[in-house]
Amino acid sequence: MVCHDRGVTTALIYLVVMLLVAAVVFLLAAVVFGRGEELAPLAPGSSPTRLPAEDITGDDVGGVKFQLVLRGYKMSEVDWVMTRLGGEIDGLRSRVADLEAELARRNQHEASQ
């Protein structure tokens, strides 16, 4: 006396085959597409995110590196934001320097009168 149905056995075999095919497709996609651009691995416990305490420049912002985590991030978007922020910081610093120079000229002009 057999206690199993032939239809149940066939369904289980199809289920196992489908799971194996899905796993192979997933692994193949992970190998082919990966996370995008690859960065050199960091030492455990270290952080690549470093900025000066004061006088941050566009080059400082452009040089910031972020550590990849499980879900990662889209590097092209981060690079775009960093480039934009770096340019904005450089523009603002240039404007501040121009205004400070203008103020110094005005003060010097008023002092000489």
Domain with 94 in it: 39-112
49 and 103 belong to one structural domain = yes
55 and 104 belong to one structural domain = yes
Distance from chain centroid for Cα 20: 33
44 and 97 belong to one structural domain = yes
59 and 102 belong to one structural domain = yes
Cα–Cα distance between 39 and 41 in angstroms, integer? Answer: 6
Distance from chain centroid for Cα 15: 38
List, run by run, the mean pLDDT of 10-residue segments along the chain (113 residues).
72 94 90 66 64 76 72 75 83 93 92 83
pLDDT value, residue 17: 96
Count of domains observed in the chain? 2
82 and 101 belong to one structural domain = yes
Q: Quote the Cα angle for 55-58-61, to 5°.
A: 90
Cα–Cα distance between 63 and 38 in angstroms, integer? Answer: 16
Q: How many residues are listed for the chain in this entry? A: 113
Cα–Cα distance between 50 and 61 in angstroms, integer? Answer: 9
44 and 21 belong to one structural domain = no
46 and 68 belong to one structural domain = yes
74 and 102 belong to one structural domain = yes
pLDDT value, residue 49: 66
pLDDT value, residue 38: 63
27 and 66 belong to one structural domain = no
pLDDT value, residue 45: 59
